[in-house]
Amino acid sequence: MRRRILRWGLPAVLIVFAALQVVQPDRSRLPVESDVVAPQAVREILRRSCFDCHSHETSWPWYGYVAPVSWWLADHVEHGRKDLNFSRWPTFDLEAQEHIFEDIDEQIREETMPLRSYLLLHRRARLSAADREALLRWAGTKGNDSPVSGSPE
């Protein structure tokens, strides 16, 4: 019985796995409409810890090309971009920006971003206490702490 399962079951599983690879999510790179206005140190933190899910500059890891993990990652990125997309900054109106800064502040304080599942494989994305403080200061000033208000450092 066990031989029969290995003889037919294993090849069947491999065929199904191979067939799943045909259906791949869209990973096309959309153009960056504008860059986030923030001091250089804050932009570096955002690039390192946020941009994979919250911008059009996603770096897809090798496992992001293997179904069904690729579908899960693409869904996370799609939702992340929908919630906040730094590649469209500051194309949001002032009220939307206010809400975004409040949301950033809340999620940094509660340490809900970056997601723990993301941090398992992306240790560089971890936020140090200094990183969190810099992001909180930036969000608390509504992005107006750059040397020349409205332009990157």
Residue-wise pLDDT for 3-39, tens only, equals 877 778 878 888 888 888 888 888 888 888 888 889 9
Q: Is residue 71 part of a domain?
A: yes
Dump pLDDT digits (tens) for 87-145. Answer: 987 777 788 888 999 999 999 999 999 999 999 989 999 999 999 999 999 998 876 65
pLDDT value at position 146?
A: 43
The pTM is what? 0.77
Within a domain: residue 64? yes
Confirm whether 22 is domain-assigned.
Answer: no
102 in a structural domain: yes
Q: Decide if 34 is inside a domain.
A: yes
Q: How far is CA 101 from CA 95, 136, 140, in A?
A: 10, 9, 7
Please report the sign of the dihedral spanned by the C-alpha atoms of residue 91, residue 92, residue 98, residue 100. negative
Number of domains, the chain? 1
Give how far the C-alpha of residue 44 lies from the chain's centroid of Cα atoms, to the nearest Å: 14
How far apart CA 129 and CA 134 sit, in angstroms, is 9
In a domain, 92, yes or no: yes
Structural domain containing residue 113: 27-140
